[in-house]
Amino acid sequence: MASRRTCQQLWRTQPTITSGIISRSITKPATIARTLPTTTTAILLPKARLTTQCRQSNSFSSQHQIRPFSSHSPKTEAAAAAPVTPKWTPPSDPTSRPVVILGAGVLGRRLAVMWASTGRPVILHDVDSSVLSSAMPYVGDALTTVCAVRETHPGRVTTSTVLEESCSGNPWMVIEALPEDPEIKREMLGKVDALVPEDCILASNSSTWPTSALRHLITRPERLLNTHYHLPPRNTYVELMTCGVTDQDLMPFLKKQMKSVGFNPLALPHESVGFVFNRIWSAVKSDTLRILQAELASPRDIDALFRDFFHAEKGPCEKMDEVGLDTVWQVERNRVNMGVVDVKKAGYTDWLEENYISRGRLGEKTGDGLYSAEERNILREKRAQAKSSYLKTDNTKPYFDEAAAMSLLSHHPV
C-alpha cells in the first residue's frame, strides 16, 4: 500500500510536457518525503523503465509513464541543462518586408534613415505622437541627402503609436531603441515576440544590458541579439553580440543586410557587460563628468584639449549633449547598479542629476545642456566654415563627398 500511495501521489503532481521533457513540481512534498526529495526535477520519458512500484498502480495510464529520479541524478541534470533550442530560419525577402524601429528619439530616427536609404520599408514606432511628429522632418531631410550622395532611392517610412499595428506588416526585423531601462526593454521585447512571425529578428540596442538579461519573456530567444548602433549616418559601425543562445546563422545573415545599407558590423565573439567602444567611451565620459564636478575645467576647455590631441570633430562634452544627458545619466546609473562602477566613486551621477537632469537641461533635445544652445550653434558654424574652406582649397578632394555630407547630417537638429 505504501508503494501504491507513492505512485498515486506522483500522479497528482500534474506533469507539464515540453519538448519531450516533463517539468514536475511536487505539490504535497510532506506525504512523499520518504520516497522523493522535495525538489523540482526535470526528467525524460523512458517508457520502458518504469519502477516496480509504479507498475503495481492502476492509477497510471500508458500516456503518463514516469520514472522518478533522485535530484542528484546525472541524467536528470543533463536533461535540464540541455534543452532543445529551435532552429532559426532566415527571413525571406528582407528587402521588401519592413524593419520596425521601437523609439523615435535621437537614435531611432537615424536608424530609420539608414534602413530606408536603399528602398526598404521602415515603420517608426513611438507611444508619443509628438516625438514622431518631431522625428519626421529630420527623417525626410536626412534621407534625401543620404540617397542623393549614394545615388539610391528612398524607401517608405511610416509611423505608428500602436504596437500591434506596427508589428502587423510581417516585419523581418524589430530594433528596440528605447530608454536604457531593463524593465521597459524586457517588457517590450516580450510583447513584440508574441506579435511578429517566427523568422523575425529581435534586436536590442541596449548599451549596458546584455540581452541574456532581457530575454526572459521571449519564447524564441535564438532570434534575439544586441545590435549596438552609435549615431548614424555619420557613425556607421555597429557592434553585434549574442544573447547566449542566438542562432549561429543569424549574425552572418544580419551582417550582410547591414552592409547593404551602409553599416559596418562588428560581431563580438561572446557576451560582455558593455560593448568595446562603450567601455572605452564610459571611461572618458565618467572622468569628464568628475572633472566638471570638481570645477577643474569647463566643457569648452575639455573639448578643446580633446579635439586638439585626437584631431576629433567633437569633444566628450559636446558628444554627451548630442546623445542626451538623460541617457548618459541612465547608463552611468546602470553601471553603478551592475557593480561596474564603485558606488563610492559615483558621486558624479548625483551631480549630473541635480544640476542638469532635474532642471530639464538634457542637451540638444532640449536646447541647453553642458553647452548652452547658443554656444553649440557657434561651434557648429565654425565647423561648417572650416569644412567649406578645406574642401574648396584642397584640389585632391571633391567639393561634395559622402564623408562631408554625413558629417553635416550629424549637426541636424534632433
Rounded to whole angstroms, what are the CA distances from 137 to 104, 108, 403? 12, 13, 22
Q: CA-CA distance, 374 to 368, in Å (whole number)?
A: 8
pTM over 0.85: no
pLDDT at 390 over 80: no
Helix (H, G, I), strand (E, B) or coil at 265: strand
Q: Give the closest residue to 192 by CA, choosing from 207, 213, 178.
A: 178
Question: Domain coordinates of the chain in residue numbers?
Answer: 2-81, 99-267, 277-409
Which of 196, 251, 184, 185 has its CA nearest to residue 220?
A: 196
**DSSP letter assigned to residue 311:** -
Tell me if residue 256 falls in helix, strand or coil.
helix
C-alpha cell of residue 399: 567639393
Q: What is the pLDDT confidence band of residue 271, given thresholds at 50, 70 and 90?
A: confident
Q: Are strands 201-204 and 99-102 parallel, antiparallel or unpaired?
A: unpaired
SS3 at position 104: coil
As a whole number, mean pLDDT of residues 84-105 equals: 92
- The CA distance from 90 to 5, in Å, is 51
User: How many whole angstroms separate alpha carbon 141 and alpha carbon 363?
Assistant: 22
Residues 6+ away with beta carbon under 8 Å from 374: none
Nearest partner of 180 among 249, 228, 225, 245, judged by Cα: 228
Contact 122, 112 (CB under 8 A): yes
Query: What confidence score (pLDDT) does residue 85 get?
Result: 65
Mean pLDDT of 294-322: 95
* Class for the domain spanning 277-409: mainly alpha
Q: How far apart are CA 337 and CA 339, in angstroms?
A: 5
Per-residue pLDDT at 81: 53
Say yes or no to pLDDT of 16 above 70: no
The residue-averaged pLDDT of 217-240 equals 92
Specify the pLDDT at position 33.
Answer: 37
The C-alpha atoms of residue 393 and residue 388 are separated, in whole angstroms, by 9
Angle at 276 between CA 275 and CA 281, to 5 degrees: 95
Q: What is the pLDDT of residue 362?
A: 96
> Domain 99-267 belongs to what topology?
Rossmann fold (3.40.50)
pLDDT band at 64 (very low <50, low <70, confident <90, very high): very low
